[in-house]
Amino acid sequence: MTATTSTGYLASRAPGARPLLGHVPALFRDPLPFLRSLAEQGDLVEIRLGPQRAMMVCSPGLFHQVLTDTRHFDKGGPLFDKLRWFLGDGLGSTPHDVHRRQRRQLQPAFRPDALARYLEVMAEETRAASSDWQDGAVIEVEQHAYQLIARIITRTMFSVDGSSAAVAGIAEAYPEFHQGIGRHMRSPSRLLDRLPTPANRRFRQVCSTVSREVEAAIEARRRDGAGTGHDLLALMVREGLSDREMRDQVVTMLTGGIGTSASALGWALFFLSRDPALADAVAREARAALPVGVDPGRDVLDRLDLARRVVTETLRYYPSAWFYSRTVTAPVELAGRRLRPGTAILLSPYLIHHRADLYPEPELFDADRWSPARRAEMAHGSYIPFGAGARKCIGDVYALTEITLAVAVITRRWRLEPLPGPVPRHLLEPRPWTVIHPAPLHLRLHRR
């Protein structure tokens, strides 16, 4: 059933719901093709998650409305609720009124002057991570990306050197931690999450490891004093946050920042490996913009324009936050439909980014989409890898900077080449969990 409402939006119900299960099999079996198909059904499409009704937003205008109207839409929904047991009351999980206060407290750690201080760590860790690679060797790219991004984020949050136990502990635990979160999000029953299976036991163990390392870092910072430090822990100490509040915020930053940036870095290197001419151009730009022995400056993103366009297109093609939810908190009309409190609203930047009317040839990776002339022609609100509104990702510039810098530093020194044979199916049509993973992604290294 479809209907064009007085708002000009097309509202519909998705076909193919199965008895009792609704659209859950399609959403979990082939999520990306399923999402692309919904964009053809209308601007607001009703789907069924078992017996529960949910509304999928398929229009940039409605996407913007949901993310900016905090009176009627707030964090929540069937996917989000599965994470709160571990995230606690961090920036990503609190209701709007609490979130606004927390964001004011944490924003100084992500201002331009703070980001400028993080650049040296980002470059240092990327150079160190790629310095031990061997010419002709084959590496699993996302595993290296996880380790790199975990070390960068942990060091910049805790202001510790690269030999810190917290850096090593969190970097080691994070891949299993992130995979466990994905399993819990996709699990159809909370009962299954509690069963003492080997996977669940490993997940509980790494959760304990992450919490223990974070709590030890908080204790050390309180003991040593915040001083004039600009890292996240020093900022929270000066703001008077409790140990529990600090723990929840740091775990939220780790959860939201490591897997998303690692997967984006992996995909960027994958796309460059498929386009040697583009990779060579990125390498030439990096050699000119990042002279040996000179640390990056505040204008590094301007000087790495091509690398930044590669990352921007990567986040269009496979946005790290590919699927999330909101819940209706007060009666509201959306696309002409009256929605009651408790209605689940589903949002997918991936769906918006792959609409052919917004992005010609959306399945083509094209860094030139982001040249100034072509970018000026794009529909407003059509690019949303970091969300929008008051809850837009607080670390959007941080993430763009660390991924771009990593792409440039790695490509400057190494040419990554696909292995012989056809592209593996999981890279052509990945099945996402918490993020859209490129793993396993094996590429061969050649020193430039």
Summarised one tens digit per residue, pLDDT across range 173-229 is: 777 777 777 666 666 556 666 777 887 888 888 888 888 888 888 888 888 776 656
Q: What average pLDDT does this structure show over 24-29? A: 85
- Cβ atoms within 10 A of the Cβ of 225, count? 11
Q: Is residue 78 scored above 80 in pLDDT?
A: no
- Cβ atoms within 10 A of the Cβ of 292, count? 7
Total-model pTM: 0.91
108 is written with which tokens?
A: 């100084």
Summarised one tens digit per residue, pLDDT across range 395-414 is: 999 999 999 999 999 999 99
Summarised one tens digit per residue, pLDDT across range 223-256 is: 877 665 677 888 888 888 888 888 888 888 888 8
Q: How far apart are CA 147 and CA 106, in angstroms?
A: 25
Query: How many residues appear in the chain?
Result: 448
Task: Give the relative orientation of helices 396-413 and 276-289 as an angle to the nearest 10 degrees.
Answer: 100
pLDDT at position 84 is 66
pLDDT band at 6 (very low <50, low <70, confident <90, very high): low
pLDDT at position 233 is 85
Q: How distant is the alpha carbon of residue 277 from its chain centre?
A: 28
Q: What average pLDDT does this structure show over 68-82? A: 77
pLDDT at position 71 is 92
> Which DSSP string corresponds to 328-343?
E-S-EEETTEEE-TT-
69 is written with which tokens?
A: 């109207």
The DSSP symbol for 22 reads B
- The residue ranking higher by pLDDT, 447 or 189, is 447
Q: How far apart are CA 320 and CA 322, in angstroms?
A: 5
Summarised one tens digit per residue, pLDDT across range 8-18 is: 899 999 999 99
pLDDT at position 397 is 94
Cα-Cα-Cα-Cα dihedral sign, residues 354, 358, 364, 368: negative
Residue 12 near residue 42, CB atoms below 8 Å: yes
* H-helix segments, 228-356: 232-239, 243-273, 276-289, 300-303, 305-317, 349-353
Q: What average pLDDT does this structure show over 287-298? A: 85
pLDDT band at 2 (very low <50, low <70, confident <90, very high): low
Residue 147 near residue 128, CB atoms below 8 Å: no
Please tell me whether residue 222 adopts helix, strand or coil conformation: helix
Residue 323 near residue 350, CB atoms below 8 Å: yes
The DSSP symbol for 18 reads B
For the chain, what is the mean pLDDT? 87
pLDDT at position 35 is 94
User: Measuring CA to CA, how many Å separate 172 from each of 36, 51, 131?
Assistant: 35, 40, 19
Please tell me whether residue 53 adopts helix, strand or coil conformation: strand
Residue 102 near residue 382, CB atoms below 8 Å: no
- Which amino acid is located at 2 in the chain? T
Q: How distant is the alpha carbon of residue 349 from its chain centre?
A: 11
Q: How far apart are CA 151 and CA 167, in angstroms?
A: 6
Residue 352 near residue 309, CB atoms below 8 Å: no
With a CB cutoff of 8 Å and minimum separation 6, the contacts of 409 are 123, 126, 127, 130, 286, 290
What CA dihedral angle connects 256, 262, 268 and 272, to 10 degrees?
Answer: 180
Q: What average pLDDT does this structure show over 114-137? A: 92
For residue 445, give the H/E element and its range. strand 442-447
Q: How far apart are CA 413 and CA 419, in angstroms?
A: 19
